[in-house]
Amino acid sequence: MKISLLCLKKMRDNQPKEASAGSCFKNPVGHYAGKLIEEAGFKGKRVGAMMFSPVHANFLVNTGGGTFEEAFALITEVKAEVLKRFGIKLEEEIIIL
């Protein structure tokens, strides 16, 4: 199956341009992680140089010099808030070593 350049561009239009590891969380059954993150107030939320992208909330991006501690703080905080607000446990798609 061939994908045109136009299709690839359209697929990437809703993804951040900053450095990221891709989607941070798996989509829970029946939900979209990015929508839950956004509805919990974390879209664009920053700790130091790490933030949930204002383009797509499920992308944790490094705006320059971000640390593991900053990323882990955001991940921990958003998981707790989504669980508290919606009763949904977010599961990381990224692998934390």
Could you report the per-residue pLDDT of 53-84, keeping only the tens digit for each?
999 999 999 999 999 999 999 999 999 999 99
Query: What's the CATH class of domain 19-86?
Result: alpha beta
pLDDT at residue number 74:
96
pLDDT at residue 13 greater than cutoff 80: no
pLDDT at residue 17 greater than cutoff 80: no
Is 18 in contact with 55 (CB distance < 8 Å)?
no
Q: 34-47: per-residue pLDDT in tens?
A: 999 999 999 999 99
51 has which bridge partners? 46, 61
Token pair 């951040």 is found at: 16
Token pair 């969380």 is found at: 25
Q: How far apart are CA 24 and CA 26, in angstroms?
A: 7
pLDDT at residue 14 greater than cutoff 60: no
| Ordered alpha helix ranges (H), 13-49 | 33-39
